[in-house]
Amino acid sequence: MELKLSNLEKSFGEKKVLHGISLKVESGSPFGFLGRNGAGKTTSIRIIMGVLLADSGEVTIDGKPIDRSKTRIGYLPEERGLYPKKEIMEQLIYFGVLKGMSRREAAESAKSILQRLDMGQYAKSRLETLSKGNQQKIQLAATLVAKPDIVILDEPFSGLDPVNALLLKDIIEELALQGKLVLLSSHQMNYIEELCPEIAILNGGNIVLSGRIRDIKRSYDRRRMVIDTPDPQLVANTIPWRSETSNGQVLVDLPELSDREALLKYLSSISTSVDCVKVFEPTLNDIFIQYTEDQV
CA–chain centroid gap for 28, Å, is 14
Helices first, then strands: H and E counts in the chain: 10, 14
Asked whether residue 286 is domain-assigned, the answer is no
Per the domain annotation, does 117 fall within a domain? Answer: yes
3-state class of 23 per DSSP? Answer: strand
Domain boundary among 167, 192, 217: 217
pLDDT (0 to 100) of residue 296: 46
Determine, yes or no, domain membership for 285.
no
My answer on whether 56 and 185 are in the same domain is yes
7 and 115 together in one domain? yes
Residue 167 lies in a domain: yes
Tell me what pLDDT residue 11 has.
Answer: 94
Say if strands 73-76 and 150-154 run parallel, antiparallel, or are unpaired. parallel
Question: What residues make up the domain containing 56?
Answer: 2-217
- Domain holding 266: CATH number? 3.30.70
Predicted local confidence at residue 81, as pLDDT: 77
CATH number, domain of 180, equals 3.40.50.300
- What is the rounded distance in angstroms from the CA atom of residue 242 to the CA atom of residue 219? 22
Q: What are the DSSP calls for 93-153, one per residue?
A: HHHHHHTT--HHHHHHHHHHHHHHTT-GGGTTSBGGGS-HHHHHHHHHHHHHTT--SEEEE
Please indicate, yes or no, whether residues 123 and 211 belong to a single structural domain of this protein: yes
Instruction: State pLDDT tens for residues 181-230.
Output: 999 998 889 999 999 999 999 999 999 999 999 999 999 888 999 999 88
Among 217, 246, 262, the domain-final residue is 217
Give yes or no: residues 65 and 88 share one domain: yes
Query: Where is the domain boundary, 184, 202, 217?
Result: 217
Total count of domains within the chain: 2
Q: What is the pTM of this model?
A: 0.85
Looking at the fold, whether 52 and 67 belong to one and the same domain comes out as yes
Same domain for 57 and 167? yes
How do the pLDDT tens digits run along the chain, 296 residues long? 899 999 999 999 989 999 999 999 999 999 999 998 888 999 999 999 999 999 999 999 999 999 888 899 999 988 777 888 899 999 999 999 998 899 999 999 999 999 999 999 999 999 889 988 899 999 999 999 999 999 999 999 988 899 999 999 999 999 999 999 999 998 889 999 999 999 999 999 999 999 999 999 999 888 999 999 888 888 888 889 998 888 889 999 999 988 999 999 988 888 788 889 999 888 999 999 999 987 54
Would 291 be classed as within a structural domain?
Answer: no
